[in-house]
Structure formats: C-alpha cells, structure tokens
Chain A
C-alpha cells in the first residue's frame, strides 16, 4: 500500500512554543490530507481537512489560528500548533487521500506524533 510519512514521531516542548508536524505522501500524490487528534483511550477526532493549494477546512470547535495547516504541494501538509499549552498534549495523526480519478476511501495514515507540552 501507499506510504505516508509523519515527522516527528514524538516531541516535547515548553509551554508557549510552536511545534510543526509534517505529513508526506511518499509514493503518491495526495490532493487531500486529514489531520486527526487522539486522546488516550479515545477515538480519532477529525480536526481539519487540508486541500492542496487552498485553505484548510476546520471542524467545529477547532481553532484555526491555533492549529495552522499548510498544504503547499501534492505530497506535503504541515500542522503547526502555535503557542502550545499543556492541554494541547495529544497524539496527532495525519492521513492522505490518494489522487486517483475515483474517490478512494482507503485512506493511508501516518505513524502519528505524540506531543507533550510541559
């Protein structure tokens, strides 16, 4: 299957700093990438949909100024957690939609980033 690479896998930062997470589709073009957040023992909550070359679409309750998403190319989307606080500590995971003529629900997931804000 297609490969999605997510970096870093783990980051520890001080409160008030910004953290950037990268999501890359390695062997396919991804017109759309999705960013999820997962708290311990809970399910994946969709944060935003990232479309190449346009603004991201955020889910209700997700602060777009807090979680900046950039999808500058067909293989790269980034999520920046700005002025991180301890409550932002979570597992963040991206997934990518393979660019084919017919929509493909078999999204491919990155390995996730565990963010810990001290």
Chain B
C-alpha cells in the first residue's frame, strides 16, 4: 500500500527560529514529491521535486529530495507568524492521471 508519512505531527516555535519538516514515502511508482501549505481552506503549492539532491528554494523556504532514502525535507528559516499553517507533503503516483497521495501533515505554530 502506498503511504506518505510526515513528522513531526505538530511543532511550536518562536519567530526567527528555523524549522525542518520531514516527509518519507513508500510508493510503487514514484513520479514526484510536492509540498503544500494549507492555512484555512485550499492547499497552496510550494514546491515540486523530481530529482534527488537538487534544492528548490523560494525566499525563506527550501526543500530537497532524496530518492534513494525515500524522503524529503522542507526548511523554513527565520520563521514568521504568517508561516503558521499545516504543511502537507504529497507524492505523485505514476500513470495516466496525476494521483497524489498526501501525508498526515505537520501543524506548525509560530509564536511571536
């Protein structure tokens, strides 16, 4: 059975801290790994990773994929209260359609 596991389930930090969120996966036909940020409603896209070792970066956020060890990390530096959200990791499964298997999510709370 395909599965995606995220850790930690929740995290509380103070503004300015750096956080690392983890995502491991076991799937039969890996295509890509994606990170989303979900605040109240629809998840918003952050990164898509397909190759190992290539860091994707957007402002204070960065992510990298290790296809040998089957995991990815999402780093957030100099956290702000606006970073508080659920961060979802999803793995795209091969085939004709872009089926995504989502992880359990990590609830991040950034305190002032």
Q: Which residues of A contact B (CB under 8 A)?
A: 1, 9, 32, 34, 36, 41-46, 49, 51, 93, 95, 97, 103-112
Q: A105-B92, A106-B48 are in contact. Are A34 and B41 (CB under 8 A)?
A: no
Interface SS of chain B? strand
Q: Assuming the A-B contacts A97-B98, A105-B48, A107-B98, are A43 and B42 also in contact, with contact meaning beta carbons closer than 8 angstroms in the complex? A: no
A34-B99, A46-B100 are contacts. A105–B42 as well, Cβ < 8 Å? no
**A32–B102 CB distance below 8 A:** no
* B74 close to chain A: CB less than 8 A: no
Could you list some 7 contacts between A and B, CB below 8 A?
A: A32-B97, A43-B104, A44-B88, A44-B90, A49-B99, A107-B98, A109-B42
A33: shortest Cβ distance to chain B, in Å? Answer: 10
Q: How far is the CB of B96 from chain A (nearest CB, A)?
A: 8
The answer, among B32, B48, B98, B103, for a CB contact under 8 Å with A43, is B103
CB-based contact A93/B101 at 8 Å = no
Contact B98 A104 (CB under 8 A): yes
**In the complex the two chains form, is A41's CB within 8 Å of B43's CB?**
no
Neighbouring A residues of B67 by C-beta, 8 Å: none
The reply to whether A46 and B48 contact each other, CB–CB distance below 8 Å, is: no
Q: Are A49 and B97 in contact, CB atoms less than 8 angstroms apart?
A: yes
What is the bound-complex CA distance between A46 and B103, given in angstroms?
11
Separation in Å of the B53 CB from the closest CB of chain A? 19
Residues from chain A with Cβ under 8 Å of B90 in the complex? 44
